[in-house]
Chains A and B, each alone.
Chain A
Amino acid sequence: MANESVEKVLKLLDKTIVGGTLFSLDKLLNALSAVSSEFKDELKQYDITVQLRLKDKSYGRYFKFRNGTVTGYDGINGDARVEMIFEDETVARKVTALIRSQFDFVNAAKNGQLVLNGPDDEAMWFSSLLLKVFAFDVLYLKNYGTKMPNGEMRYTTGTNGGPLFVYVKDGKIVRCTPIEFDETDAPMWTIHAKGKALTPPRRATIAPYTQGWKSMVYSPNRVLYPMKRVDFDPNGERNYENRGISGYERISWDEALDIVAKEIIRVRQTYGPGAIFHTSGSHHNWGNIGYYLSTAKRFFNVLGATTAQLNPDSWEGWAWGGQHHFGGSARNGGTEPYNTVEDCLQNSEFIVFWSSDPESTSGNYAGQEGTVRREWINQLGIPCVHIDPYQNATAAFVHGRWICPRPATDAAMAIAIANVWMKEGLYDKDYVKKRTYGFEKWQAYVLGEEDGIDKTPEWQEDITGVPARTVRGLARYWGTHKTYLACGSMTSFGSAGRTAFGTEWARSMVCLIAMQGLGKPGINFGTLQYGTPLDCKFWFPGYADGGFSGDFITSGAGVSTYNRMPQTPSINSEYQQIPRLRIPEAIMEGKAESHVMGVYSVHQQFGTIKYPAPGHERVRMYYKYGGSHIGTQPNSKRFAQMYRCDSLEFVVNQAVWFEGETKFADVILPACTNFERWDIAEFASCGGYIDKSYLQNNSRVIFVQHKCIEPLGESKSDFDIFQMVANRLGLWQVYSEGNSQYDWCKRYYEATDMKNVMSWNKFIKKGYYVVPPLPENRRDPVAYNWFAEGRKKDTPELTPLPSEYYGRYGEGMQTPSGKIEFECQTLKRFDPNDDERLPICTYIHSWEGVGSVPYQKYKLQLISPHSKYSFHTMGDLKDTNINDIQEHRMLIDGHRYWIFRMNPKDAAKRGLKDHQVVEVYNDRGRVLCGLELTERVPEGVCHSYESCADYRTLENNPGGEDTVEVMGCINNLTPGRFITRHAHGLAVNSCLVEVKAWEGGKVE
């Protein structure tokens, strides 16, 4: 293509758009098709006449499309197949300039001032043609990305573990690398601490599962074509019981869409509201437009579907326990992060990592950004301890003693620490007096004034397995040094909060830090992971802020995106919900119940949902997005049983890969990865329930996610798949406003502060932007310092909601007293006698721990935290290179076994050897694993990650009673009981098992 003709076209484009007229559309379309045969092919699709006119027919112009050539005529043509009707001239003028005024366009559509008539497919074709004109240089001239000297194109994308440069040649990904900043990007920040100037490197880091992404894109386990289960006949025998067993046959997109659309209509018309159930995996391919909270939300909103009530599965303890003491409902019990990195490095004298492993989980989505900061701990020589039953990756890397309490006993140790502080006066009495409520109540419990049990370090010794002298030594050092308390991956997460009564651990953490003066210099929550000195005034939303969903009620869009991005609203009219942890029960038994987790208030969680909702039948169709539940949800064999019962008449799974759960669908729709479609997003930015999560990063990196390659096989973006289904239901305009995913990316960009700093053209060429950090003298105030010093809240966030201040607005914590409450008034009002969650924090022994009923048979305590090398199920199996990490899976006899870690002494007692196949079992299931002997667990404790991506039984009898699972679905073994009675939270780290050598032979 000659450059000259491209230039000419671009000029014409500009003139047409800027001129705000579509009247010369024929000339424009003909000119464009002359330079792009691809575009000409699009024009050739229909030989029809299209009419543009004012409503009163006072003016009109029509266009005849014939074999790819367009001819325009003035007037009204009675034979037009498609009509675009404008209310009046003003509307016409505004709309024809829609590229500059999305607002007017959306408004006109919303108000019925702009109408598009005609058969759906033809109207859609014409409407998308108009939009393609505006995106012509990108879509057809491929005018994006950076051309490298060797002819490769360098694109950008984002993943769950950091952004990437993607090098492409001949339509194939050559390599993916971390983004290294160039000289035009903003400089990094510096923290001055303890005589050192600390500056992170000028680049964005990535997690291992991100470095493995190329092998995930080209995985042989990609779903590349629409598939139908061989023995599923929508008009005849459906053979439910064969789900997960029978194979698949390739079908055409048309056939697949016909089945799905017909089933949607049949099920809804037969069974009424809420008959379609939809869930996603917790996480999805990165990108604010393509994320499940955007595309899927919009689609299921317009459809009206029963959704899952989600549990905060990575931080249950904080959500159902911790927040009653100090609020933070907007983050489900999460803490403020602001500027704690600087405060910690400058002022803290001790760091207690308690169930904290940001090195394994990348914090949340943050690549290896926090690693350099934790290396500074080593450099500055700040003493640390690491409390976790497993010597996790952070404990292995950051110096400091590893203390290993038995799983689910952490609260006993914390209470004993408080006991030492109370007895020896090692706490901030002034702070406790001024800033807290109900201390005496808790003190009476801790000192045993009521139950006669003095909760001393000796008391906890037999419970936790940690000797009293260690706990006393720790308590004294902590009580005399300014201490940062690091819990979980960012703050207020952690596997200790996913144990039986893990609520009490989280609560004990709040109580301990309250005794030391939360918010005073050097005393705060933080893992050096969250709270970097970045600029959080630059507005760019995260994935949970709604994307293009238009859902201003159940996504963060209501507070964040909706008022910035003109879009038609979308609301799910269906209020029926199923608690996620009870999906199989709901389907199989037809009922389920749980509490709800809300973000508006602390007491919102006392509310309950009941399934089925009044006036509803049970759900009959399950539209599943991805396939991770069997790997990630507790007691997950239930899911296989659920799929094989006849309650679900139709199951469709829209998936990128054949994962464990994908294989249970009747129809599988092939979704492409985010490397094969357009998107836009920011590094590690969730928004919504983890506000400003990008403060985990060393820089804010906002990027375009180029369509790096064409979708593989017949796969399509989730957006396009939903669009196709929507089209068959007559919902095409309602779903997408007729815009493509690329159009939405651009609209999204226009809505954000990005448009003030970089033009769209430059953005899509370079691919990313680094937001300059704040200068040292303008950094945000340190988290909770306002509270410690009795000021009004001055940290940069809108939450809590005004009504959550019981006294004057902006003063104090989100508790009834406005203080940190040792005795929680919210819990006291709810049920003062709930012995699974009393108003004060207590130690409650696990129903599945040492000395419990199952302990008679099963002597090993198993914890299964989030995996280090895969992002949940992403990256695991599917023949990716992640499996080559010998700490991820173990290759024995040609089979890659999930790894089960055990102390050599426990192995010796059972006659087991390193690197052998073992059967891990309890009453709930049997799972084969590869045994790794390690001193990173003490005797009596075992470790294996959650999140196996596949599910396969030796007997090919999914969900069967005595079946052996061979891929490593550890969650087949974990308990389904809620963390505490009045919660909807999991307790997977309270799990007893036994282990024996596998004698069943080689696994094929």
Chain B
Amino acid sequence: MKKFHMIIDLEKCVGCFNCMLACKDEHVGNKWLPYTDEQQKHEDKWICPELTERGEAPYTEVTYVTKTCMQCDNAPCIKKYPDVLFRRSDGIVLIDPQRAKGNPDIVNACPYGNIHWNEELQVAQKCTGCAHLLDQGWTEPRCVQACPLHAIQTVFCEDYQWDQLVETQGLKPITSGENRPRVMYKNLYCYNKCFIKGAFAFDKDGIEEAAVGIKVELLINKVVVAETETDFLGEFKIDRIPKDSGKMTIKASMDGYDPILVDLEIKDKSVVLDCYKFGTDELGKPAVILPNEHANELAVQHMTKADAEETKEAYGK
């Protein structure tokens, strides 16, 4: 029997929230009994992206992580409430809206927070995979249909085919995976791994130049574990480093100079290094320069005559 699966690709999510809105469009104000009763207008979201950031300006990376019921094969919610929740033959886990009435504890049966309590109707609810539509011949749930790049994708396949997909596409569960979720993520590293970003420069004729196209290595315990090159801005990035990886060293090599070695530690965040300059102990200019004490003089120099006079007068006071 082909089963319902979902792949969420973090690199393809543009953060439009169409999935959440399509889910609301389908379920707010519409009863789809016996599948589910109406969703609360604002209080609950059965699927929703969450904005996450790595790095810092200007090396910020944004990833939206969409979370929804994972239709676990080994669903803890069913285990806890076998009379209320059930799995269909296509793998979709549903809550019986009649039996889920009046028992807010059901919400706690999902360790991932994907069951919601509808205060108004006094019933536990969650994503149904739009089973009411699939049963009418729709090929995908509303959230998938509304997704511009199909960053959310449904796959109906046999278990063994799914295992193959997990393998070939490098799909990862967002949790530990112990309950065999049927919703898996692609490019999860954007969310749960760290990167190191940095820049190198050198002085030439009194001008600070970007060190373009030089070799940058990542060493752990003096062993090279990754290698890259700086880009046209003299910057490099090494990604997919697990959190809490501990101490490591960045080594940058440029012809005619001693290599630069920077020690760092990966904890739970990405690391943005200062700009290091070959042939000197000084640091290069930071990637964002803050206004200095001469800002006003500089401003006046480039203002129109009238604006400059007004400004001079104001600052003169």
Interface residues of A (CB under 8 A from B): 149-150, 174-178, 180, 201, 205-208, 211-212, 214-215, 218, 359, 367-368, 371-372, 375, 378, 383, 391, 393, 396-397, 401-404, 412, 453, 458, 461-463, 465-470, 472-474, 476-477, 835-836, 843-845, 847, 849-853, 855-856, 869, 879, 881-887, 903, 934-940
Contacts and interface: CB of A to CB of B under 8 A. Distances in A.
Contact of B296 (A180, A375, A851): A851
Given A149-B136, A465-B291, A850-B291, A470 B26 contact: no
B235 to A, nearest CB: 7
A935 B314 CA distance: 33
Contacts of B296: 851, 855
Contacts of B145: 177-178, 180
Contacts of A176: 25
B154 to A, nearest CB: 14
Nearest first, the 5 A-B pairs at minimum CB distance are A851-B299, A368-B148, A396-B62, A845-B302, A467-B285
Given A853-B314, A936-B53, A468 B14 contact: no
B216 to A, nearest CB: 16
A88 B232 CA distance: 81
Given A150-B136, A177-B142, A368-B16, A470 B210 contact: yes
Given A469-B208, A884-B42, 13 more contacts: A175-B142, A212-B24, A214-B29, A215-B28, A401-B235, A461-B285, A463-B298, A469-B209, A473-B234, A847-B307, A881-B28, A934-B53, A940-B291
Given A208-B17, A368-B14, A885-B17, A473 B292 contact: no
A404 B286 CA distance: 12
B57 A375 contact: no
A847 B289 CA distance: 21
B166 interface: no
Nearest to B307: A847
Contact of A935 (B28, B53, B305): B53
A835 B30 contact: no
B105 interface: no
A851 B298 contact: yes
Contacts of A397: 14-15
A887 B289 contact: no
B302 to A, nearest CB: 4
Interface in B77-127: none
12 contacts: A150-B136, A201-B150, A206-B146, A208-B21, A367-B148, A368-B149, A396-B15, A462-B289, A835-B305, A845-B299, A850-B291, A851-B296
Contacts of A359: 14
A159 to B, nearest CB: 13
A391 B233 contact: no
B148 to A, nearest CB: 3
B232 to A, nearest CB: 4
B58 A404 contact: yes
B219 to A, nearest CB: 25
A174 B27 CA distance: 9
Contact of B288 (A453, A869, A938): A938
A375 B12 contact: yes
B284 interface: yes
Interface in B149-189: 149-150
Nearest to B24: A881
Nearest to B26: A175
A939 B50 CA distance: 24
B287 interface: yes
Contacts of B28: 215, 881
Interface string B263-302: 0000000000001000000001111111110111111111
Contacts of A149: 136-137
Nearest to B133: A175
Contact of A205 (B12, B59, B148, B212): B148
A851 B295 contact: yes
B99 to A, nearest CB: 26
Nearest to B272: A935
A212 B18 CA distance: 8
Contact of A401 (B58, B62, B300, B310): B58
Contacts of B45: 884
Contacts of A214: 25, 29
A467 B275 CA distance: 11
B93 to A, nearest CB: 23
A604 to B, nearest CB: 25
A482 to B, nearest CB: 15
Contact of B42 (A205, A883, A940): A883
Contact of B304 (A404, A844, A886): A844
Nearest to A462: B298
A844 B25 contact: no
A468 B208 contact: yes
A214 B299 CA distance: 50
A391 B57 contact: yes
Contacts of A401: 58, 231, 233, 235
B311 A175 contact: no
Interface string B1-31: 0000000000110111110111011101110
Residue in A372, A462, A903 whose Cβ sees the most chain B Cβ within 10 Å: A462
Contacts of B22: 177, 211
Residue in B15, B60, B148, B235 whose Cβ sees the most chain A Cβ within 10 Å: B148
A211 B47 CA distance: 15
B60 A936 contact: yes
Given A465-B289, A836-B304, A852-B299, A404 B24 contact: no
Nearest to A177: B145
A469 B25 contact: no
Contacts of B301: 453, 845
Nearest to B62: A396
Interface string B37-61: 0000110010010110101111111
Residue in B30, B58, B314 whose Cβ sees the most chain A Cβ within 10 Å: B58
Contacts of B298: 462-463, 845, 851
B140 to A, nearest CB: 10
B207 A468 contact: yes
B201 interface: yes
Nearest to B312: A853
Given A468-B285, A850-B299, A375 B149 contact: yes
Contacts of B16: 207-208, 368
B299 A211 contact: no
Nearest to B310: A853
Contacts of B61: 396
Contacts of A849: 299
B118 to A, nearest CB: 15
Contact of B58 (A383, A844, A938): A938
A882 B275 CA distance: 42
Given A371-B148, A469-B210, A472-B209, A461 B289 contact: yes
B148 A462 contact: no
Contact of B287 (A467, A843, A881, A886): A467
B295 A850 contact: yes
A415 B120 CA distance: 60
A850 B296 CA distance: 7
B241 interface: no
A175 B11 CA distance: 28
A836 B308 CA distance: 12
Nearest to B15: A393
Nearest to B11: A378
B30 A177 contact: no
Contact of B41 (A150, A378, A462, A881): A881
Contact of A884 (B18, B20, B303): B20
B293 to A, nearest CB: 10
A938 B55 CA distance: 12
A881 B71 CA distance: 25
B116 to A, nearest CB: 13
B25 A175 contact: yes
A819 to B, nearest CB: 28
A859 to B, nearest CB: 9
A463 B57 CA distance: 18
Interface in B222-275: 231-235, 275
